[in-house]
Amino acid sequence: MNTTSFPVTGKTKTKVFINGRFLNHAITGVQRSAYELVKALDSLIDQGIISNNDFSFILIYPGIIVSPISLKHIIVQKKGWLKGNLWEQLELPLYTAGKLLVSLCSASPLLKRKQIVLIHDASCLVNPGFFSFGFRAWYNVMIPVLGKISRQIVTVSEFSKSELTRYAGIRKQKIQVIYNSAEHILRFGDVSDKFREKIAALKPYCLAVSNLGANKNFAGLNKAIGKIDALDFHMLIAGGALGGLKASATDHSHVTYLGYMSDAEIKHLYANASLFIFPSFYEGFGIPPLEAMIMGCPVIASATSSMPEILGDNCEYIDPANPADMAEKIFTTMHDAAKRAQLKSKGYQRAALFNWEKSAARLYELIRKCDD
């Protein structure tokens, strides 16, 4: 990867804190972004692309680590007695007083100005029905306030930048775009022989991977599956807590609900799928389609929100509100080997444009700019 080498400034080494609350959670969307940016930042230091003489990076977290992270240069440090929002709002600003704080999961202290906050999207402002009352009430207050008080706001797409300006009133000039990536999927290990045999018996299959949030539109996918009369391939749906979805789904012997899958199992599913479908209504970025592309899996995705910006013309698009369109695109693409081969090739090319270390280098530029 080509990145800019950052010169040593010669100034006194200063502390920069990173909000490590994401370590308290399983690695999904926004947590994945935070996890990979921190690992990439650490890697840039290790390669000498970023000097370790200017800043001392400290990843500070509360409570119990759910998702361990291995770092060579960034210090990982537990601080505080509280947890969750209380830790973030009350203790975190005390521990980082006078120092720059970098928060990467859309939430950060409202009592701190010297901070960089990565806000992934404006979904709770745009689509309040997708969220609980408590969640949207808190974020409807927090996001606009953070946009006003923070030194720098970062988001993950030009689409999200526009939405945060429109719905949260954040000045466009204050927002910088740093894209997510997907090459992390390549580092995950192998699966058991038992799992490999199980998936081999289900080929050919179309794959969907996500959580059960209403935004992800699995209800629409179920309706689409029900409209395919001659389903001569399997539909595999992977994601946590799929019981409720399964109970309300079309009763079809070719549909398999896999539930929670490990990172290695998701990687194996991508690598062996004939097709990946991402029917989400709204995404600030959308990492799973890029993961599928980098694993050589053709992609069908919603023609909404950030998807055209991130995926370009390298996938087949659907209207997520139209199950009939979804059904037709799934069926015809599954039966068109030439089209799938073309999408596979174009997907590789698209995924190669994104890189976690390149994004971490952009974040470091902002850290240098904001630390004064």
Which portions of the chain are predicted below pLDDT 70? 1-11, 240-252
Query: pLDDT at position 229, please?
Result: 81
Query: pLDDT digit string (tens) for 72-120?
Result: 999 999 999 999 999 999 999 999 999 999 999 999 999 999 999 999 9
Task: Give the global pTM.
Answer: 0.94
Q: What are phi and psi of 316, to 5 degrees?
A: -95, 135
β-bridge partners, 152: 116
Q: Which helix (H) or strand (E) holds 103?
A: strand 100-103
| 3.60.20.30, 3.90.79.10, 3.40.50.2000, 2.70.98.60: CATH of 14-181+356-371 | 3.40.50.2000
Name 50's Cβ contacts closer than 8 Å, sequence gap at least 6.
Answer: 6, 41, 44, 361, 364
Looking at the chain, the domain(s) classified CATH 3.40.50.2000 span 14-181+356-371, 184-353
Work out the angle between the directed axes of helices 287-294 and 263-272 (0-180°, nearest 10): 60
Q: What's the half-sphere exposure (Cβ side, CA atoms, 13 Å) at 279? A: 28
Confidence (pLDDT) at 241: 58
pLDDT in tens, 332-343: 999 999 999 999
**7 backbone φψ class: left, alpha, beta (φ>0; ψ -120 to 50):** beta
* pLDDT given at position 7: 59
| pLDDT for the residue numbered 60 | 99
Q: Which of 48, 9, 68, 1 is nearest to 367 (CA)?
A: 9
d(CA 222, CA 216): 12
* SS3 per-residue string spanning 308-342: HHHHCCCCEEECCCCHHHHHHHHHHHHCCHHHHHH
CATH superfamily of 184-353: Glycogen Phosphorylase B; (3.40.50.2000)
Query: Which residues are CB-contacts of 133 (< 8 A; sequence separation ≥ 6)?
Result: none
